[in-house]
Amino acid sequence: MTTRPARRRRPSHARPERQFKPGCVPAPGEFLVWSGNRHFAWLDVPCVLCGRPTSLRSHAGEPAHKVCAEDWIAADPVEARRSGRFASDAQPKKPTSGHA
Ligand SMILES: [Zn+2]
């Protein structure tokens, strides 16, 4: 009996994974833009920066309060930009509509 490889139907429009790319690291003293539910997890776990429970996640999935991440950026902006550990959401390009 011959074994045939299992064929998987793969629709051409299927995307491999949802992209969750970070955008820019805000300047010290500016606010992170963490919009969207991908920054929100149901489970409260200790923040990597202050240790108190948080349901927020960075782009990399690190549990961290937004204010803690902002403080972390302000404390070492050079490292923050180099590592990109905490960054704002990538902003979708808005079409420049020329409405009068
Ligand atoms: Zn925190």
Q: Say whether 83 sits in a helix, a strand or coil.
A: helix
Domain of residue 48, residue span: 22-89
Considering the domain boundaries, does residue 100 fall inside one? Answer: no
User: What was the pLDDT predicted at 15?
Assistant: 47
Distance 90 CA to ligand 1 centre (A): 22
Q: Is the pLDDT of residue 11 over 50?
A: yes
Distance 72 CA to ligand 1 centre (A): 10
Considering the domain boundaries, does residue 28 fall inside one? Answer: yes
Distance 50 CA to ligand 1 centre (A): 4
* Number of domains making up the chain: 1
Percentage of residues in the chain with pLDDT exceeding 70?
Answer: 73
What average pLDDT does range 8-30 have in this prediction?
A: 70
Q: Rounded CA gap, 19 and 36, in Å?
A: 13
Considering the domain boundaries, does residue 15 fall inside one? Answer: no
Distance 69 CA to ligand 1 centre (A): 7
Q: Where are the alpha helices (DSSP H) in the chain?
A: 66-75, 77-83
Q: What would the pLDDT profile of 25-73 be if each residue is shown by its tens digit? A: 999 889 999 987 889 999 999 999 999 999 999 999 999 999 999 999 9
What dihedral angle (degrees, nearest 10) is formed by the CA atoms of 37, 46, 65, 36? 0
Considering the domain boundaries, does residue 17 fall inside one? Answer: no
